[in-house]
């Protein structure tokens, strides 16, 4: 007979420790949205096509819809909520706002997280490298032009702040 098994997990979400017992079939995305009510990662295609649910898992951009919650045990998860606050935006968030890189906004948190992962690894990306870094995220509104410009602008600002 099929029985659902449950696992105890402990992980770090946006700098806070989370302890929970989760079904081992529960995705990280459903766990974040439905159980923890952390909703910046969006549930769109549910099969890894669109990137709207992109979060950082130990610094790497992943689709939260394809990650099981049980597998983030002892790992670090970062969502857009942990990146900046309305009064203190991360440079990537600030650039998206200032350059109008968001229209309906559904893909935006995913783009922000993908951009953060890219810039952590490569603080001085070329235009083509930014395109590569954002290629896992679909957007229907912007034509990608302004998001790419926003990431380049944020990269410049972060480099100058780091000097």
Q: At closest approach, how far in Å is the CB of 80 from other proteins?
A: 17
Q: Report the distance separating Cα 124 and Cα 121, nearest Å.
A: 9
- Yes or no: say if 86 and 140 are a contact pair by the CB < 8 Å rule: no
The yes or no reply on residue 130 touching other proteins (CB under 8 A) is yes
Among 12, 68, 89, 141, binds other proteins (CB under 8 A): 141
The yes or no reply on residue 45 touching other proteins (CB under 8 A) is yes
Q: Which is nearer to other proteins, 17 or 128 (CB)?
A: 128
Sorted by sequence, the CB contacts under 8 Å of residue 157 that are 6+ apart come out as 91, 94, 95
The yes or no reply on residue 144 touching other proteins (CB under 8 A) is yes
Secondary structure letter of residue 71 according to DSSP: G
Among 8, 100, 121, 159, binds other proteins (CB under 8 A): 100
Nearest to 10 by CA among 72, 80, 77: 72
| Contact positions vs other proteins (CB under 8 A) | 45, 47, 49-50, 99-105, 130-132, 134-148
């Amino acid at each position: 007979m099929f029985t659902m098994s449950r696992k105890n997990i402990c992980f770090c979400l946006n700098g806070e420790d989370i302890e929970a017992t989760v079904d081992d079939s529960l995705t990280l995305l459903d766990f974040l949205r439905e159980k923890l009510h952390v909703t910046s990662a969006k549930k769109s295609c549910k099969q890894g096509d669109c990137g709207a649910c992109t979060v950082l898992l130990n610094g790497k951009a992943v689709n939260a819809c394809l990650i099981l919650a049980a597998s983030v045990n002892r790992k670090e998860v970062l969502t857009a909520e942990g990146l900046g606050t309305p009064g203190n935006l991360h440079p990537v968030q600030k650039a998206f706002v200032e350059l109008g890189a968001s229209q309906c906004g559904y893909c935006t948190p995913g783009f922000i997280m993908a951009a953060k992962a890219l810039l952590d690894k490569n603080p001085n990306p070329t235009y083509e490298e930014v395109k590569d870094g954002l290629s896992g995220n679909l957007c229907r509104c912007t034509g990608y032009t302004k998001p790419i410009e926003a990431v380049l602008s944020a990269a410049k600002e972060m480099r100058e702040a780091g000097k």
